[in-house]
Amino acid sequence: MSRVTRCAPGSDVRDSPIVALPGCRHTAASLMFDAGLTIFDVQQRLGHHSPTVTAEVYTHLMRKRHAEGRRLIADYMGKTMAGGS
C-alpha cells in the first residue's frame, strides 16, 4: 500500500505518523460532507461511477448531516404550522 508522511512545519519527519492514502481519501470525503456538499458532488470528486457506491462506502459520515436535516425540516414545519415563513 502506498503511504505518505505528514509532519508539522519545523518538525522531524521521522517523528511523524504514517498516513495511508485511503485514509486521506476518507478524510477528504468527511470534509466534503461536513462542508455541506451533496452525495453527487462527493461522488464526482472521488470518481465513483455512481452515487450508490459513494453512499455504500461513506454512509456513516452522513449521519450527522441527516440529523441536521431532520432538525431543519422540523423547524421549518413548526414555523409553517404556526403561520410563519
Contacts of 70 (CB under 8 A, 6+ apart): none
Measured between alpha carbons, how far is 60 from 15 in angstroms, rounded to an integer? 31
In the predicted structure, residue 2 carries a pLDDT above the cut 50: no
Q: pTM of the predicted model, to two decimals?
A: 0.53
What does residue 27 show for φ and ψ, rounded to 5 degrees? -60, -45
Q: What would the grid cell of residue 73 be?
A: 425540516
Task: Summarize pLDDT for 16-58 with one digit per residue, the tens.
Answer: 566 666 678 888 888 888 888 889 999 999 999 999 999 888 8
| Total Cβ atoms within 10 A of residue 29 | 20
Measured between alpha carbons, how far is 24 from 46 in angstroms, rounded to an integer? 12
Measured between alpha carbons, how far is 17 from 68 in angstroms, rounded to an integer? 33
Domain edges within the chain: 3-81
Q: Is-contact 5 18, C-beta < 8 A?
A: yes
Task: Tell me the average pLDDT across 75-82.
Answer: 85
